[in-house]
Every structure is written in C-alpha cells, then in structure tokens.
Chains A and B, each alone.
Chain A
C-alpha cells in the first residue's frame, strides 16, 4: 500500500435517488472524501459496462449507486442493473480486477447521511487495495 495513494472513484449515480441523495448530503453539510467523481445518469439501467471499463482504463476505481430495489423511477431499471452488475463483477475478478473495485449500492433521495458513509467506506477500502495499475506500464 502506498501511503500517498489517493484513489479516484467514479460514481455513476441515478438521477432520481442516489444523485438526489448526494445532493442531500451536500445540503446537510455532511463531509465525505473528495475522491469520488460523480456522473449523473437518468437511471442505473443506463450504466453501460463500457462506462465501467472506460473508468478503469482512465485510472479510476469505482462505485455505482442507484435507487433501492422496488424504488426505481422507471420501475425495473435497477433490476436489470443488478443482473448486469453481478455478471460484470465476476468477469472483472476473473480477469484479475479485484471484485471489490466494483460496487453496487442503493441510496435513496433522502439518505444523505448514507451517501456520505458509503463514500467514506469506499475510499478506505480502495486505499487498502492500492492502485489498479492498468494505465501505466
């Protein structure tokens, strides 16, 4: 582990819940690590695994957040997400990209505190894992 290692975490946040949750965290003046870079998507179902690989190959370690099961604004988007997610996570791990580097979490619009906690935990986890080293070399 490198002491100065500041990971970059890409967060793909669903506009209706987790993005609103992040907003709530801000409005409530909660502090969380600045390691997360947020991309807002209209629904977690919009997250193409291509985005994930793009993030990894541009030097990130990432997270993905969306509405709670049953709460998706478009009814079923996050159920599709979940299926894609497990598949992709297993595949990445098999190719040597630790499965802990990809996370799917549910955050609702009112859960600002939960958002802050998740980002804090993620950052610690990734610091422990160290850099991905896919970009250099």
Chain B
C-alpha cells in the first residue's frame, strides 16, 4: 500500500508541475470513487485539483481511449505497460502527435479483476491491496488475506509481455521483470477453439454472439477505433441492428476484428466493458496470434514498424 500511496504522490506532484508550468493543458489520470476499488478516469485542467488523482492496483482503464477527446490540446497521460502499446500504435497511425503528449509511465505488476475479488471478499470490505511478485495481499478492517496472482488478477495480466511502458517521458516506480507478469500461455483458449471442427466453432460463436445486443460499447471504448465514420457499426434506427440477426451480429464482429489486424494491442477493454460477457478476448487474441504467425508482426511495440496490411513485402 505504501507503494501505491507513494506513486499517487508522485503522480500528483507531476500533474501539479506540468499544469502550473503550462507544459500541458490537461492531465489524464485516475481517481478513486466511493471505495478504493471503484476507480474511474480523472481529467484535470487545474493544478489545484491534483489531490483527486490516485493510483492503485485497481486502475484498469486504458486512458489512451480518452485522449481523442483532447486531440487539439497538449495532454499528459498516465499509462501502464499495456496502455502504452495503444499509444505507440496511435502515434504510428498518425492519430496522436508524440510531441503533444507527456507520458507518465507506470511499470505495472498486475491489476485486480473486481469479479475475481468479489469471489473472495465483499468489495466494500477491502481497505488496501498489495500486489507482490508471488502473491497478493488484501487488507481488510481487521485481518489480511493472501491470494495467488491467478486468483485475483485480470487474465491478461497473467500473460502480460510488456509490463513496463515501451514509450514514456518518465517512469514512476521501478521496472517490473517480465517473468513476474508473463506466467501463463496467452493463446491457450484460442488454440482450444482452433482444435474444434468448424461446425463446433460456429455453434460456439453463434451461442456467444446471440447474447450481443449490438450496443457497441466494445467499439466505443476501444482506443484503436478512431475512425470518424465507422463502417462496421449500424445506425440506431437500422432495422438490421434492431433485429440483431445472426448476419448483422456476425458481420459486426468479423468486420471489426478484421479492422483490428495490426492495430489491436490486446488491451481487452472491449471484453471488460461488454455488458453481456462475450469472450471478445478470444477474437482479438486470434487476430494477434495470426498477425504474429503470418506477418511476424506485433502491434504497439515500435512506432517505426510498418502495419502488416500496408506492406506486402515478405521481409
């Protein structure tokens, strides 16, 4: 806990300095809500408000998605390892100008999934959290509870290959060893699906996608969905959208997945916000896996890489 308090203090100081000096117009970070487990994005323009900013092991939101709202301002932003990859990709695709953003990078050893926490303890009873290399400690009013990383962290944090931001103007805290966060096989569930016969996969997706309400929350939250006129979503009054036929649902998901080839960095914000719990990670990890296999390309690691579908040369 001392650690997140320390990092909170550093973030607040940094925000104060950047806003006071006029280096940036906005500072995008996190704040806690009614309890420390309720974290939301926090956008600050006034140096007097920096106390609102916070950092803890519940800061899951990928703030990079917020950046498009401040396109014409100089912004400072707090990013974790995974979030930084979205930023690399947006810079590569000319959606963000590197000199317009000040990047405060947080090396990250994993974020807690509230659904998993709730299986252990009521969320409201938790007063502090300490994420360690081999375990996680939940502090309650009186006692403490030690859990494994698997028991509490988001699945993506168990297979995270880039816990340290690859792009940043400064890092808050010490770098994390990838061996700590990269403990599982990221593509295990994708491979399982790949093993099935095509009809079984069809049945699996048909069942999952039949829950989809075409609310487009997944598309709205995605930091890489920046197109002004999205060609894969349907307008509100479109009868196909209202009817939610398998055709309209399948084409939304397949088209969006295809649009994400070479762009999606696997932040999995889409899956996190889906109100009906569709395993979107299985779609986007497939995109990532194929992009690696076919084109030896990993999104969001270097601004100098040429996007795989804008390039036809083999080397």
Contacts and interface: CB of A to CB of B under 8 A. Distances in A.
Contacts of B308: 83
Contacts of B261: 87
Contacts of A50: 231-232, 255
B250 A83 contact: no
A58 B248 CA distance: 10
A99 B194 CA distance: 13
B290 interface: yes
Given A96-B201, A98-B198, A91 B312 contact: no
Nearest to A135: B247
A34 to B, nearest CB: 24
Contacts of B309: 80, 83-84, 87
Contacts of B258: 49, 87-88, 91
B253 A95 contact: yes
B189 to A, nearest CB: 12
A54 B232 CA distance: 11
B254 A92 contact: yes
Interface in B174-210: 193-194, 198-199, 201-206
A94 B247 contact: no
Contacts of A79: 312
Nearest to A101: B198
Nearest to A133: B246
Q: Is the interface of A mostly helix, strand, loop or mixed?
A: helix
Interface string A31-65: 00000000000000000011001101110000000
Given A84-B309, A94-B193, A95-B202, A57 B247 contact: yes
A95 B252 CA distance: 12
B31 interface: no
Contacts of B311: 83
Given A83-B308, A97-B202, A53 B194 contact: no
A49 B203 CA distance: 23
A106 to B, nearest CB: 15
A6 interface: no
B287 A91 contact: yes
Contacts of B232: 50
A109 B310 CA distance: 27
A36 B287 CA distance: 30
Given A50-B232, A80-B312, A86-B294, A91 B257 contact: yes
A93 interface: yes
Contacts of B287: 91
Contact of A87 (B193, B203, B246, B290): B290
Contacts of A95: 201-202, 205, 250, 253-254, 283
B139 interface: no
B246 A96 contact: no
Given A80-B312, A83-B312, A137 B257 contact: no
B203 A96 contact: yes
A91 to B, nearest CB: 6
B250 A49 contact: no
Contacts of B290: 87, 90-91
A134 interface: yes
Contacts of B254: 49, 53, 91-92, 95, 97
Interface in B261-311: 261, 283, 286-287, 290-291, 294-295, 308-311
A105 interface: no
B231 to A, nearest CB: 6
A94 B194 contact: yes
A124 interface: no
Contact of A54 (B204, B251, B283): B251
11 contacts: A49-B258, A54-B251, A56-B250, A80-B312, A90-B286, A91-B286, A94-B201, A96-B203, A97-B202, A134-B250, A135-B247
Given A90-B286, A91-B290, 14 more contacts: A50-B231, A50-B255, A53-B254, A76-B312, A79-B312, A83-B295, A83-B308, A83-B311, A83-B312, A87-B294, A92-B254, A95-B202, A96-B203, A135-B247
Interface of B: 193-194, 198-199, 201-206, 231-232, 245-248, 250-251, 253-255, 257-258, 261, 283, 286-287, 290-291, 294-295, 308-312
